[in-house]
Structure 1
Amino acid sequence: MASEHLRELAAHAYLYGFPLVFNLDQVDRYVREGIGANPAAPFNTFSHARTLAGPADTFVTINNDTLYSMGQVDLSVGPVALHVPDTAGRYYVLQFVDAWTDNFAYVGHRATGTAAGDFLLVPPGWTGQAPEGSTVITFPTTVASIVGRWACAGDADLPVVHALQDATTLTPLDPGARPAGLPMPDPAVDADLLFLEKLRLWSQAFPPAPRDKEIQESLVPIGIDREGSSPYVGGADAETTEALRAGLRQGATDLDTALTHGSSPEVNGWKLTLHAFDYNLDYFEVGALDDPRFKIADPKLRIIERAAAAKGGLWGNHAYEAAYIMTYLDEHGEQLTGANTYTLRLDPTPSVGAFWSITMYSIPDFYLVANPIDRYSIGDRTPGIVYDDDGALTITIGHTAPSDPKARANWLPAPAGEFRPVLRMYEPGEAVLDQTYVVAAITKT
């Protein structure tokens, strides 16, 4: 019975802690290695991608619409000044994501406009005086990410976007302070229990929201609260260790199930994940909407959705900034695969304040897919697309290039195997948010 209890706790710990562990693994990866087109950059500096993302950018559900500017921020150094340039109306967004993946602030086109601006990023509990003209943004955790996206119309537009990226800066007020960074696990920890060790270290360094204190305390029996040396290095008997391993495996299975069969409504095979990122109930700084429409009230569902959102779309936006819907299925409920050819008719095309796109991703990694025409997404900014006579848009989806000229102009290449397209709508209209806008099923031809 004791082993069964430990197994259940470890499975619960996996779902609860997955966003923190998965997220901070990516933060560490950015700081040390960079990811794809974004080179490595130290804490409190920006890493700028100079090209639109492609298959080399192995990051879950990365977009192909914008150039990324990523800043991993560590406020153990104290406040950090952020400056943004005047973009003259160009769409951009700086999304602020804390260690637990809460979207807690937004700066950019929708949230603060496109004029130049200055912001002061401060750690939890800070009580100092901000410089005149600066807007204070209080971080829930000392380490957080700024996920910047700049609309880019193609190669000819790159120099303008590069200049805007270079004018976006992070400047610690104390230039001599050194960031503490992430606590690193003991290399002697059992590899199968490394997840629990990271959760132990990082949940202590970056405490969760007060509402999750009860969950944190429920994990005491498996060592999450232990300070100092790791409880996962030797010492534990074989039965306990196997129970924890089994629990983590079960948690991973439960997360995969939640990701593909979650609570998001489904219409015509499309999962309407308009509320997948609504698990932040506590932290609302500039640009983040404290609105009941964008809050998951069910406490158990909130934890599951948070984990699924991290695995399926880490650093995704709230729907009021960018709405995402995705599908795995055709009109018969069968898995989409490159062995077939499909069409998707958008009638009408999405109502948006900025722009929209459909991007192709492989399964199970959710990476962009290499193809002979280097087209990873298709949308209202794609050159050469051909609309139907009634204004609708028919998109051909498949692994093999279509022979018909119109179909080829509107071709979204797919991998040979299974795939998942994602429709993104930047600054979606009310019809998207209230779900009166309906996207047709993808049909097999």
Structure 2
Amino acid sequence: MGANKKVWIAFSVLIIGFLATGAFVWKRYIRTPWDEEHAYTKGLQAVVYAFPYVLNSSVRWAWSQPQKEGEPVVAPTDAINHFFHSPRLTGPQYRDGGTPNNDTAYSTTWAYVEKEPLVISVPEVGNLPGTQKPRYYSLQLAAFDSDNFAYIGTRTTGNGAGHYAIAPKGWHGKLPANVKLLAEAPTPWFLILGRTLVTSNDDFPAVAALMRQYDLQTLSDFENKVHRRPPAPPLTPVPHYKKEQLALLGNFWSIANAAMTANPPGDEDARLMRFFRDIEVGPGRDLSRLSEGMVRGLDRAVLRGLTMLPEVNQTSFGTKSVNGWKYPPRDYGRAGTHGAWLTRASLQSLGGIVANDPEEAVYIVAHADSAGQLLDGKSNYRIDFPKGQIPPVQAFWSMSLYDNTNNLVDNPLNRYSLGDRSPGLVFNPDGSLTLYVGHELPQGAAQSNWLPAPAEEFYLVLRAYLPGKSIVDQVWEPPAVVRQ
């Protein structure tokens, strides 16, 4: 057989193999029925848009349940139009995610406003014990899509007592002279997330007494001096996002549509709602109209979308990287208002349930060390704040550690943050401050400067409450996390 003939035979075999492989790929991966592929491509975007509605439905149902007798209180209970107050600072027993802090006591309620305004009342909060510095507190109000729309607290309304009204959309009425109209609620259901600074365990009883005075009433009950829980419609059970993921996957679209029907997206999203109409996603849409192919496409979109969002959280998407730390996107807290749907779903909603406006608090996150390696307990780390480079804040700063479920991690010291109120912090002779993070206390390090870490991967959050302008503008540079 001649050399040329051998070459042509080999070439022919290669071509036949290529065509056979191409036909398989075409049939298996490209020639998906058009309706399935159409629903998948639109559905993936719809997952990103609708995720906060689904997560908040899940969290609201979990937090609406009564406290079970004999069980420890680790998450909000009975928190519908009624404040739940943390009985202690949040620790690793709480497992509902959201990167909770270990600096403030939480006051939480899912509020519902429909026919008349709700009146939120707060007491005189005053100063920190033994100081002339105001005790930091805030009540963050976020719509059901997770975007903030108002604040009560030290920064916005001061530390004096007051009464503030949240009106339903389109309400036109008169308020008493001692009630200030704070905002119109973008959605009938909204979250009130309160934080009150605690300086120590000994300070907690004073904070608890303050929180018990946070109150919520309908306007008519406020005027008639009647104290009762405002009414709210009954809730439909929703699978727990962390504990019942398979059930949530199967019900994602029905939960999303029900939530958007009860809490219609704003007029600014009308064009997007029209875009999702042919896959039956949005307020008032009917999933039973879909073809079998479209159902398959939407199911695929949920599976991919709910794995994609955590992946986004571990990248630098939308963030500003400084020394291995990531500043949040500048529209964090109100990402949906700016049309930043992926930021809203992955960083704002999945990462924190809701997120503070930068003027209220900035959370700077480190998943990796100065060499770009993911943080894990197999190594020890040090963070050196030069003299004069402590985070500039008006309220407080702290650094906490979380696992990949966005929860605090148990440790033998029961220490879940280090910051400006940590007792016994040891500064270096030159005025600098070194903090240590690791599974074991490094030799020669002061235990008071050590944040214990698990043996597995973790990440750090540096919080700055009422941050200085240099942090808001993302000019201040957090020091690198250096592997030792």
Q: Taking structure 2 as the reference length, what is the TM-score of the superposition?
A: 0.82
Query: Which residue pairs with 2:318 in the alignment?
Result: 263
Query: Which residue pairs with 2:109 in the alignment?
Result: 71
For the residue of structure 2 that corresponds to 1:129, the secondary structure is coil
Worse-superposed segment, 7-16 or 72-81: 72-81
Query: Which residue pairs with 2:61 in the alignment?
Result: 28
- Residue 314 of structure 1, CA deviation: 1.7
Indicate if the aligned counterparts of 1:11 and 1:249 stay in contact, CA closer than 8 A. no
1:182 and 1:439, CA in 2 relative to 1: closer, same or farther beyond 3 A?
A: same
Q: What is the alpha-carbon distance in structure 1 between the residues aligned to residue 360 and residue 229 of structure 2?
A: 36
Q: Percent identity?
A: 32
Query: Which residue pairs with 1:170 in the alignment?
Result: 216
- Residue 107 of structure 1, CA deviation: 0.6
Q: Verify: 1:17 aligned to 2:55, yes or no.
A: no
Query: Which residue pairs with 1:131 in the alignment?
Result: 176
Query: Which residue pairs with 2:11 in the alignment?
Result: none
Give the 5 Å matches for 1:167-206.
167-172=213-218, 173=220, 178-182=231-235, 192-206=249-263
For the residue of structure 2 that corresponds to 1:71, the secondary structure is strand
Give the 5 Å matches for 1:229-244.
231=287, 238-244=292-298
Q: Deviations over 1:196-249 (max 9, x none)?
A: 111111111101121111112211122224748x625xx866533322111112
Indicate if the aligned counterparts of 2:333 and 2:355 stay in contact, CA closer than 8 A. no
- Residue 343 of structure 1, CA deviation: 0.5
Indicate if the aligned counterparts of 1:44 and 1:74 stay in contact, CA closer than 8 A. yes
Give the 5 Å matches for 1:237-316.
238-261=292-315, 262-273=317-328, 275=330, 277-279=332-334, 296=338, 299=339, 302-308=340-346, 309-316=348-355
Give the 5 Å matches for 1:74-113.
74-76=112-114, 78-88=116-126, 89-113=134-158
Counterpart residue type for residue 330 of structure 1: D
Indicate if the aligned counterparts of 1:67 and 1:149 stay in contact, CA closer than 8 A. yes
Q: What is the alpha-carbon distance in structure 2 between the residues aligned to residue 191 and residue 312 of structure 1?
A: 18
Worse-superposed segment, 244-253 or 199-208: 244-253
Worse-superposed segment, 73-82 or 5-14: 73-82
Indicate if the aligned counterparts of 1:182 and 1:202 stay in contact, CA closer than 8 A. no
Query: Which residue pairs with 2:129 in the alignment?
Result: none
1:421 and 1:191, CA in 2 relative to 1: closer, same or farther beyond 3 A?
A: closer
For the residue of structure 1 that corresponds to 2:150, the secondary structure is strand
Indicate if the aligned counterparts of 1:279 and 1:303 stay in contact, CA closer than 8 A. no
- Residue 319 of structure 1, CA deviation: 1.0
> Quick check: which has more Rg, 1 or 2?
2
Q: What is the alpha-carbon distance in structure 2 between the residues aligned to residue 158 and residue 176 of structure 1?
A: 26
Indicate if the aligned counterparts of 1:323 and 1:426 stay in contact, CA closer than 8 A. yes
Q: What is the alpha-carbon distance in structure 2 between the residues aligned to residue 269 and residue 211 of structure 1?
A: 36
Query: Which residue pairs with 2:384 in the alignment?
Result: 345
Q: What is the alpha-carbon distance in structure 1 between the residues aligned to residue 203 and residue 282 of structure 2?
A: 50
For the residue of structure 1 that corresponds to 2:304, the secondary structure is helix
- Residue 60 of structure 1, CA deviation: 2.0
Q: What is the alpha-carbon distance in structure 2 between the residues aligned to residue 8 and residue 274 of structure 1?
A: 26
Pick the structure with more helix per residue: 2
Q: Verify: 1:55 aligned to 2:92, yes or no.
A: yes
For the residue of structure 2 that corresponds to 1:76, the secondary structure is coil
Query: Which residue pairs with 2:77 in the alignment?
Result: 40
- Residue 49 of structure 1, CA deviation: 0.3
1:71 and 1:192, CA in 2 relative to 1: closer, same or farther beyond 3 A?
A: closer
Q: Verify: 1:150 aligned to 2:219, yes or no.
A: no
- Residue 268 of structure 1, CA deviation: 1.2
Q: What is the alpha-carbon distance in structure 2 between the residues aligned to residue 280 and residue 236 of structure 1?
A: 31
Candidates 362, 379, 386, aligned match of 2:403:
362
- Residue 280 of structure 1, CA deviation: 5.2
Candidates 326, 341, 349, aligned match of 2:365:
326
How large is the RMSD of aligned CA atoms in angstroms?
2.3
Candidates 280, 288, 304, aligned match of 1:223:
280
1:72 and 1:191, CA in 2 relative to 1: closer, same or farther beyond 3 A?
A: closer
1:226 and 1:62, CA in 2 relative to 1: closer, same or farther beyond 3 A?
A: closer
Report how many aligned residue pairs link the two structures.
421
- Residue 444 of structure 1, CA deviation: 0.6
Counterpart residue type for residue 332 of structure 1: A
Counterpart residue type for residue 213 of structure 2: A
Worse-superposed segment, 37-46 or 27-36: 27-36
Q: What is the alpha-carbon distance in structure 2 between the residues aligned to residue 226 and residue 38 of structure 1?
A: 30
- Residue 190 of structure 1, CA deviation: 7.9
Q: What is the alpha-carbon distance in structure 2 between the residues aligned to residue 313 and residue 194 of structure 1?
A: 22
